[in-house]
Amino acid sequence: MAAIRTERGLDRLVNFSDATVAIAITLLILPLVDAASHIGDKPFGDFVDENAWEIFAFVISFAVIARFWVVHHRIFEGVRDYNQWIVWFNFLWLFAIVIIPFTANVLSAGVGERPEVYVLYISDMLLATLATRLIGGALYRRPELMTEEARINLDKTRGIAEVAIMALVLVLAILFPAINLWWLFLLFLARPVHALLRRAVYGASQKAA
């Protein structure tokens, strides 16, 4: 792969990823489209009531994919070259993304009655989060693959807090399934946890220097 890397190859990698995400995020709405085709003369309010869980699963999953794409886009904005690790970690990320419509459908069909559904859904999110971290880690180990500006802002702790908190969310969802997806609100702690971790790592490095 090192012998055939080109700027066009990087563009194809990013474009392929964007197209895959676009397809996955579009598939989310299909169950609701199918349900809407049977609405007939039924009041729209009744349709919303009957499909409230499906609508909830769609909105949450749309936001999840959008968030993962934003982070992925931010990473690749600072990439000028790639290697085989970037390619395969990116495919792992895409694997997690294309599963989200499936897990969203399972979630909407579960109607809050099967705890294992939440575990499946959160596990997929953990996989996507881990894959994002692996891409970032591969770039940290090979900073020459990044733009000069991205190298200046390089942070080896980025993504660790998200992976750790998502893993905690998964464990809590298994131990306390009654709270189900509300455990995901713990992700709001990712920013302060990352700030503390960064201060601990780089503060220690500066003191050592």
Q: What is the pLDDT of residue 1?
A: 47
Contact 143, 151 (CB under 8 A): yes
| Residue with the larger pLDDT of the pair 128 and 3 | 128
Q: Whole-angstrom Cα distance, residue 198 to residue 201?
A: 5
The alpha carbons of the chain give a radius of gyration, in whole angstroms, of 20
| Residue with the larger pLDDT of the pair 155 and 2 | 155
Contact 101, 57 (CB under 8 A): no
Residue 189, domain extent: 2-208
Q: Which of 22-26, 41-45, 132-136, 137-141 has the lowest mean pLDDT?
A: 41-45
In tens, the pLDDT along 146-202 reads 998 888 888 888 889 999 999 999 999 999 988 888 888 999 999 999 999 888 887
The DSSP element (H or E) to which 22 belongs, if any, is helix 7-27
On whether the pTM is more than 0.85, the answer is: yes
Helix (H, G, I), strand (E, B) or coil at 92: helix
Q: What is the pLDDT of residue 106?
A: 87
Give the closest residue to 73 by CA, choosing from 51, 54, 97, 50: 97
Q: Whole-angstrom Cα distance, residue 119 to residue 177?
A: 9
Counted domains in the chain: 1
In tens, the pLDDT along 15-60 reads 999 999 999 999 999 988 888 888 878 888 888 888 888 888 899 9
CA–centroid distance for 58 within its chain: 15
* pLDDT for residue 142 is more than 50: yes
